[in-house]
């Protein structure tokens, strides 16, 4: 029975299946007819419409490239703008023998092989009918030469384009940055629609951080063209929205003063307006000329920049990491007062070296023979190392780490530039995780005078100084003014709630650094009607052997100490905070402090006039 049932079932199954095949076929026929109906609609009913769009008068959708926003300094001086420039451009599609044309152009205008290579690379990435530049920013002579020979070069023409221009060249290169040709990686990550027609994109600096604002919004025009592709009529267009103009907090004249003051040294100067956090000076010397990057820097020139000993492409103010040296002492001193680890009047005896209990090692003071008996003020004024060795040991690394962290050491300052380095504020935990080692007391000592593992960037140091000058209200540096927001409605600053008495005693010690006869930076305190508070620092680049005598002149220049200086002024109502780092500059007091002095005097001098 069951077998019969199965057979019958098979028959039912077969019939069911055949029905389904027929049903499927009908569905397929119906859907295909649907496609045909749509095709008839497009190709017969809409034919004329689409033919107008495509064939005789094809509508091209042309992107309308917005002009890039201009970058100004705080007084409206132009840091980056767009200038007219003439370039020699080729349309590969219209050239019969491209190789021959290139060869003849090369002879005519003396074009380097490298430029030809660059052109070939770019050509392959572009459409055959797109105009591709071979020579950018042509000189008048080149334009004249080509103009005469033009009839012999079909498909080659001179085009006027807007090219980004940086009038201050190396002075602001590390702040403003530059734009360059969009490379393949960027082409993938950028929004295609917005960049159809744009050739450049911000690579570093403000140009990079504020790319979206500066670039603007691409518009488009539907252009009717004839058979030759010549535009005859604009059917419809959506105009581009030009990029926003940016106003920086930077003062380019002050920047120039700082840059010139660094003279032949490599180094960085950062100045912050304390009330707002606006960055007034952001100098990294040497800078570089960003203009060649815009038109495509030659390989040789780029290699030269890359391999130069002075590393001009290296943004020291943002990415340079240095031991803060003695500039850390005011912060350590303040930590001692805040934690009640020491009183301001407490005196310590400095014999010129410090010893940990039961350890023979001498932690030496910079002054052989020592400073004698000193209190906090004297220790900061004379930069006594032994006093701070002792204080560091009392505080311990945990409290130091905790306190310094509040001032932004070991974390990015948050300035609106890409690529900032975090620096390093060591802690027990860090050493265990990174080095798998316990923390040693000796390391606490040298951290107390800003040596050892500790690494800070100039912008961090300037920020910490501004926060100190601001009486513990944390300053966050920025470069671009948000023009819509009045300056007094800036985001509320985090307050560290420090004891005003403690701050005042540290500040008065820092005033003594400049205005006391024993001060390490007394040279800059003359001829001014206000007071500057500051602290010098000298950061060791290499370790001196125990008891070895050393003479600065004997040491290879590259191994000479870095000179540092932090300061703010006027001391009673601080307006500007300045951090200076001079690589291999030697002493902070004699090399770094005068640079800060020039910046402060110029800033406050012009402000007084206002």
How far apart, in whole angstroms, are the C-alpha atoms of residue 183 and residue 605? 46
**Least separation, in Å, of the C-beta of 162 and other proteins?**
20
For residues 515 and 522, the answer to whether their CB atoms sit within 8 Å is yes
Q: Examine residue 50 and tell whether it contacts other proteins (CB under 8 A).
A: yes
| Number of residues near other proteins (by CB under 8 A) | 45
Q: Examine residue 26 and tell whether it contacts other proteins (CB under 8 A).
A: no
Among 11, 61, 149, 359, binds other proteins (CB under 8 A): 61
If the CB atoms of residues 21 and 359 are measured against other proteins, the closer one turns out to be 21
Residue of 87, 131, 284, 326 marked catalytic = 326
Residues 6+ apart with CB under 8 A from 141: none
Ramachandran angles phi, psi of 25, nearest 5°: -60, -40
How far apart, in whole angstroms, are the C-alpha atoms of residue 560 and residue 584? 5
If the CB atoms of residues 129 and 557 are measured against other proteins, the closer one turns out to be 129
If the CB atoms of residues 53 and 78 are measured against other proteins, the closer one turns out to be 53
Burial class (CB in 10 A: 0-12, 13-18, 19+), 31: exposed
For residues 551 and 559, the answer to whether their CB atoms sit within 8 Å is no
Q: Examine residue 441 and tell whether it contacts other proteins (CB under 8 A).
A: no
Near other proteins by CB under 8 A, which window of 44-52, 147-155, 201-209, 418-426?
44-52
E strands, 300-427, are 348-350, 353-354, 363-364, 372-374
Does 326 qualify as catalytic in the annotation?
A: yes
If the CB atoms of residues 78 and 95 are measured against other proteins, the closer one turns out to be 95
Near other proteins by CB under 8 A, which window of 47-55, 411-419, 421-429, 503-511?
47-55
Among 86, 220, 331, 403, binds other proteins (CB under 8 A): 220
Ramachandran angles phi, psi of 478, nearest 5°: -150, 160
Q: Examine residue 17 and tell whether it contacts other proteins (CB under 8 A).
A: yes
Among 1, 2, 3, 35, binds other proteins (CB under 8 A): 35
Q: Is 441 helix (H, G, I), strand (E, B) or coil?
A: helix
Q: What angle do CA 277, 278, 283 make, to 5 degrees?
A: 115
Q: Examine residue 34 and tell whether it contacts other proteins (CB under 8 A).
A: yes
How far apart, in whole angstroms, are the C-alpha atoms of residue 265 and residue 310? 9
Among 7, 11, 18, 26, binds other proteins (CB under 8 A): 18
Query: How many Cα neighbours within 13 Å face the side chain of 466?
Result: 30
Q: Examine residue 234 and tell whether it contacts other proteins (CB under 8 A).
A: no
If the CB atoms of residues 236 and 499 are measured against other proteins, the closer one turns out to be 236
Near other proteins by CB under 8 A, which window of 82-90, 214-222, 365-373, 544-552?
214-222
Rounded to the nearest 10 degrees, how much is the dihedral formed by the CA atoms of 144, 150, 151, 157? -140
Burial class (CB in 10 A: 0-12, 13-18, 19+), 354: buried
Q: Examine residue 31 and tell whether it contacts other proteins (CB under 8 A).
A: yes
Per-residue binder mask for other proteins (CB under 8 A), 100-119, x = binder: --------------------
Strands 71-72 and 78-90 come out as antiparallel
Near other proteins by CB under 8 A, which window of 126-134, 172-180, 303-311, 593-601?
126-134
How far apart, in whole angstroms, are the C-alpha atoms of residue 62 and residue 30? 40
CA nearest to 364, candidates 345, 380, 388: 388
Window 268-327: residues binding other proteins (CB under 8 A): none
**Least separation, in Å, of the C-beta of 428 and other proteins?**
34
Q: Examine residue 129 and tell whether it contacts other proteins (CB under 8 A).
A: yes
If the CB atoms of residues 40 and 301 are measured against other proteins, the closer one turns out to be 40
Near other proteins by CB under 8 A, which window of 52-60, 379-387, 506-514, 565-573?
52-60
Among 26, 103, 144, 193, binds other proteins (CB under 8 A): 193
If the CB atoms of residues 32 and 183 are measured against other proteins, the closer one turns out to be 32
Q: Is 200 helix (H, G, I), strand (E, B) or coil?
A: strand
How far apart, in whole angstroms, are the C-alpha atoms of residue 232 and residue 123? 27
Supply 268's token pair.
């960085």
Q: Examine residue 54 and tell whether it contacts other proteins (CB under 8 A).
A: yes
Window 68-87: residues binding other proteins (CB under 8 A): none
Among 26, 32, 186, 542, binds other proteins (CB under 8 A): 32
Alpha carbon 157 to its chain's center: 37
Task: Output the CA–CA distances (angstroms, integers) from residue 321 to 333, 336, 461, 538, in the order listed.
Answer: 23, 26, 10, 14
If the CB atoms of residues 40 and 359 are measured against other proteins, the closer one turns out to be 40
Q: Examine residue 187 and tell whether it contacts other proteins (CB under 8 A).
A: no
How far apart, in whole angstroms, are the C-alpha atoms of residue 323 and residue 314? 18
Q: Examine residue 132 and tell whether it contacts other proteins (CB under 8 A).
A: no
Residues 6+ apart with CB under 8 A from 553: none
**Least separation, in Å, of the C-beta of 189 and other proteins?**
11
Rounded to the nearest 10 degrees, how much is the dihedral formed by the CA atoms of 37, 38, 42, 43? -40
Residues labelled catalytic: 326
Return residues touching other proteins (CB under 8 A): 9, 13, 16-18, 20-21, 24-25, 28-29, 31-32, 34-36, 38-40, 42-44, 46-47, 49-51, 53-55, 58-61, 63, 127-129, 191-193, 196, 218, 220, 222
């Amino acid at each position: 029975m069951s077998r019969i049932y199965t057979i019958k079932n098979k028959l039912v199954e077969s019939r069911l299946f055949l029905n389904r095949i027929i049903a499927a076929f009908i569905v397929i026929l119906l859907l295909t007819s649907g496609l045909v109906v749509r095709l008839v609609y497009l190709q017969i009913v809409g034919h004329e419409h689409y033919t107008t769009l495509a064939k005789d008068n094809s509508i091209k959708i042309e992107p309308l490239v917005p002009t890039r926003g201009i970058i100004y300094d705080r007084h409206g001086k132009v840091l980056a703008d767009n200038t007219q420039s003439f370039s020699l451009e080729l349309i590969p599609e219209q050239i019969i023998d491209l190789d021959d044309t290139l060869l003849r152009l090369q002879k005519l205008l003396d074009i380097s092989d490298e430029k030809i290579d660059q052109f070939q690379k770019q050509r392959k990435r572009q459409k055959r009918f797109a105009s591709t530049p071979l020579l950018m920013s042509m000189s008048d002579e080149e334009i004249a030469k080509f103009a005469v020979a033009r009839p012999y070069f079909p498909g080659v023409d001179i085009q006027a384009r807007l090219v980004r221009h940086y009038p201050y060249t190396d002075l602001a290169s590390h702040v403003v940055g530059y734009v360059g040709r969009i490379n393949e990686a960027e082409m993938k990550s950028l929004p295609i629609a917005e960049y159809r027609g744009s050739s450049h994109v911000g690579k570093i600096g403000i140009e990079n951080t504020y790319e979206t604002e500066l670039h603007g919004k691409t518009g488009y025009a539907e252009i009717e063209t004839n058979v030759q592709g010549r535009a005859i009529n604009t059917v419809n267009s959506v105009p581009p929205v030009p990029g926003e103009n940016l106003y920086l907090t930077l003062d380019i004249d002050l920047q120039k003063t700082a840059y010139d003051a660094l003279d032949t040294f490599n180094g960085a100067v950062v100045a912050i307006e304390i009330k707002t956090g606006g960055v007034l000076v952001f100098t990294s010397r040497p800078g570089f000329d960003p203009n060649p990057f815009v038109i495509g820097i030659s390989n040789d020139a780029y290699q030269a920049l890359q391999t130069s000993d002075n590393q001009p492409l290296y943004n020291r103010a943002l990415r340079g990491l240095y031991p803060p040296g003695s500039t850390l002492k005011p912060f350590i001193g303040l930590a001692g007062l805040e934690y009640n680890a020491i009183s301001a009047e407490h005196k310590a005896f400095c014999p010129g070296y410090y010893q940990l209990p039961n350890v023979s090692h001498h932690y030496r003071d910079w002054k052989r023979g020592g400073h004698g008996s000193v209190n906090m003020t004297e220790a900061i004024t004379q930069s006594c190392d032994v006093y701070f060795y002792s204080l560091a040991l009392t505080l311990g690394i945990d409290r130091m780490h905790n306190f310094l962290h509040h001032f932004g050491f070991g974390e990015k300052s948050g300035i609106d530039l890409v690529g900032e380095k975090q620096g390093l504020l060591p802690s027990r935990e860090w050493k265990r995780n990174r080095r798998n080692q316990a923390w040693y007391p000796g390391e606490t000592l040298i951290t107390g005078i800003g040596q050892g593992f500790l690494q800070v960037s100039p912008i961090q140091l300037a920020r910490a100084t501004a926060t100190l000058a601001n009486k513990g209200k944390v300053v966050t540096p920025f470069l671009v003014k948000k023009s819509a927001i009045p300056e007094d409605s800036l985001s509320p600053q985090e307050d560290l709630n420090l004891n005003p008495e403690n701050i005042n005693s540290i500040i008065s010690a820092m005033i003594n650094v400049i205005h006391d006869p024993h001060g390490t930076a007394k040279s800059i305190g003359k001829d001014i009607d206000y007071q500057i508070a500051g602290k010098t620092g000298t950061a060791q680049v290499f370790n001196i052997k125990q008891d070895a005598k050393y003479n600065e002149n004997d040491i290879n220049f590259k191994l000479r100490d870095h000179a540092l200086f932090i300061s703010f002024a006027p001391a009673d109502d601080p307006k500007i905070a300045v951090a200076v780092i001079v690589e291999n500059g030697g002493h902070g007091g004699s090399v770094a402090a005068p640079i800060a002095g020039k910046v402060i005097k110029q800033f406050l001098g012009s402000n007084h006039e206002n």
